[in-house]
């Protein structure tokens, strides 16, 4: 008979021709690659937010009497520290969220607005795991609610739900 190797197995042959796996598909379909990409982008974004959030913090009054050069050196160290902290936090959140959302989408075999909500629940629960079961529940609920709000407002991948 020829054709697909699984053609003789009932239910084993795919419908129609099997598209070849291209490099573009590998980059888009691999949860590991998506997670690493989100980890890197989240880290860069978080590092850029460090100086922004540092500008809104109150200054240390004990630094006011120091020479300007010393104040600038201490401030730059604080900014670098904040950038590293925010970068790490956003990297972990971005990586964990994108990997969990990707695995949920593959497990459900659906691409709808519920994947980010379930992925958000997994992310929130995972980030709060050290705090115990109650923290996991609140983390799950918080991230899931935030993801649902983003999707419902139309800012997510899937846009607002249909109003039919």
89-144 tens-digit pLDDT: 999 999 999 999 999 999 998 888 899 999 999 999 999 999 999 999 999 999 99
Alpha-carbon separation of residue 81 from 46, 71, 163 (angstroms): 12, 15, 47
> The pTM is what?
0.74
Instruction: Give mean pLDDT, residues 34-43.
Output: 94
**What is the reported pLDDT for 2?**
47
46 vs 93: CA distance, rounded Å: 10
pLDDT in tens, 53-88: 888 876 777 777 889 899 889 888 988 999 999 999
């Amino acid at each position: 008979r020829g054709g697909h190797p699984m053609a003789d197995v009932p239910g084993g042959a795919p419908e129609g021709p099997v598209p070849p796996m291209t490099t573009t598909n590998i980059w888009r379909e691999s949860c590991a690659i998506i997670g690493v990409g989100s980890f890197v982008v989240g880290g860069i974004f978080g590092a850029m937010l460090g100086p922004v959030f540092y500008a809104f913090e109150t200054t240390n009054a004990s630094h006011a009497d120091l020479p300007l050069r010393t104040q600038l050196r201490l401030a730059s160290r604080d900014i670098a520290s904040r950038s590293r902290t925010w970068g790490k936090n956003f990297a972990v959140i971005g990586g964990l969220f994108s990997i969990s959302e990707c695995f949920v989408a593959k497990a459900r075999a659906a691409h709808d607005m519920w994947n980010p909500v379930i992925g958000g629940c997994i992310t929130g629960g995972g980030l709060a795991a050290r705090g115990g079961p109650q923290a996991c529940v609140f983390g799950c609920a918080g991230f899931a609610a935030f993801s649902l709000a983003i999707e419902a407002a139309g800012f997510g991948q899937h846009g607002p739900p249909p109003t039919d």
